[in-house]
């Protein structure tokens, strides 16, 4: 049976990309982008414009990040040139790939997916994600209250009741994992949790997300699709 439009009454043709005909939406996007630039906000990317739009117009369905990218590009409001990844980055950082493989057979990674806004909701959601990547693959996401170690520990504890403890857990340099950024350094609650279980915490290189590719790749797909 042929179907011309989706049953949820979205209104655009099946099999075709969605388009926005309301120029007012584009104007709002540009205004939000300009405001972030004028306020010298550190985060000015399309994801943050998307979140601002959702907060500013809670009763309207926010446009996609793809449409925001396109609008900003056409308006000449891009603030960064695309970064070109240097070849041989792992070699430059002397990243010990072989040594990591020798740490054990079961490898897992974990991360928080920052605050995301869902259409129709004023409050953002925070998600904890984790991924086994050797010797088997398993990706899991769970909504949590906040980006805090206690919620990472809670979700991992539940997961490890069913699946094996990893020999290695890859994490980034977020404070919820490594501890405080000020004052005297100490082992964080999360690191003590791992070490008491005999799990080796493996930190990715700062500002080099590709050194933790397994979880970052899954999170990117989640952001794009959801």
pLDDT in tens, 89-140: 555 556 676 778 788 889 999 988 877 777 777 788 888 999 998 898 898 9
**Cα distance between residue 188 and residue 5, in whole Å:** 52
> What stretch of H or E contains 31?
helix 23-38
pLDDT the model gives residue 22 = 67
**Domain limits, the chain:** 1-82, 89-225
Between CA 102 and CA 99, with CA 161 as vertex, the angle to 5 degrees is 10
Burial of 95 (0-12, 13-18, 19+ CB in 10 A): middle
Mean pLDDT on 6-11: 44
pLDDT in tens, 173-202: 888 888 766 666 778 899 999 999 999 998
Nearest to 207 by CA among 167, 174, 159: 174
Share of the chain above pLDDT 70, in %: 74
Integer angstrom CA distances of residue 64 from 46, 57, 88, 168? 9, 14, 34, 36
Tokens of 212: 């933790």
pLDDT the model gives residue 5 = 42
Mean pLDDT on 57-63: 86
Quick check: 129 and 219 in contact, CB under 8 A? yes
pLDDT the model gives residue 155 = 95
Tokens of 144: 């949590």
pLDDT in tens, 65-82: 888 888 888 888 877 655
Q: Which class would CATH give 89-225?
A: alpha beta
Could you give the strand order of the β-sheet that contains 200-203, starting from the edge strand earlier in sequence? 138-144, 125-134, 107-116, 168-171, 200-203
**Cα distance between residue 27 and residue 36, in whole Å:** 14
pLDDT the model gives residue 7 = 46
Give me the chain's average pLDDT, please.
78
């Amino acid at each position: 049976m042929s179907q011309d439009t989706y049953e949820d009454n979205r209104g655009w043709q099946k099999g075709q990309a969605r388009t926005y005909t309301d120029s007012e939406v584009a104007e709002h996007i540009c205004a939000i982008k300009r405001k972030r630039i004028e306020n010298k906000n550190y985060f000015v990317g399309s994801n943050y414009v998307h979140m601002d739009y959702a907060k500013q117009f809670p009763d309207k369905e926010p446009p996609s990040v793809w449409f925001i990218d396109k609008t900003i590009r056409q308006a000449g409001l891009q603030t960064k040139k695309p970064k070109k990844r240097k070849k041989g980055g792992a070699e430059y950082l002397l990243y010990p790939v072989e040594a990591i493989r020798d740490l054990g057979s079961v490898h897992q990674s974990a991360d928080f997916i920052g605050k995301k806004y869902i259409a129709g909701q004023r409050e953002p959601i925070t998600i904890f994600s984790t991924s086994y990547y050797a010797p088997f693959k398993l990706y899991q996401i769970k909504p949590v209250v906040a980006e805090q170690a206690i919620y990472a520990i809670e979700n991992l504890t539940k997961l490890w009741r069913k699946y094996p403890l990893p020999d290695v857990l890859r994490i980034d340099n977020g404070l919820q994992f490594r501890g405080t950024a000020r004052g005297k350094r100490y082992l964080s609650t999360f690191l003590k949790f791992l070490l008491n279980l005999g799990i080796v915490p493996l930190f990715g290189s700062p500002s080099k997300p590709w050194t933790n590719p397994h979880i970052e790749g899954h999170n990117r797909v989640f952001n794009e699709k959801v």
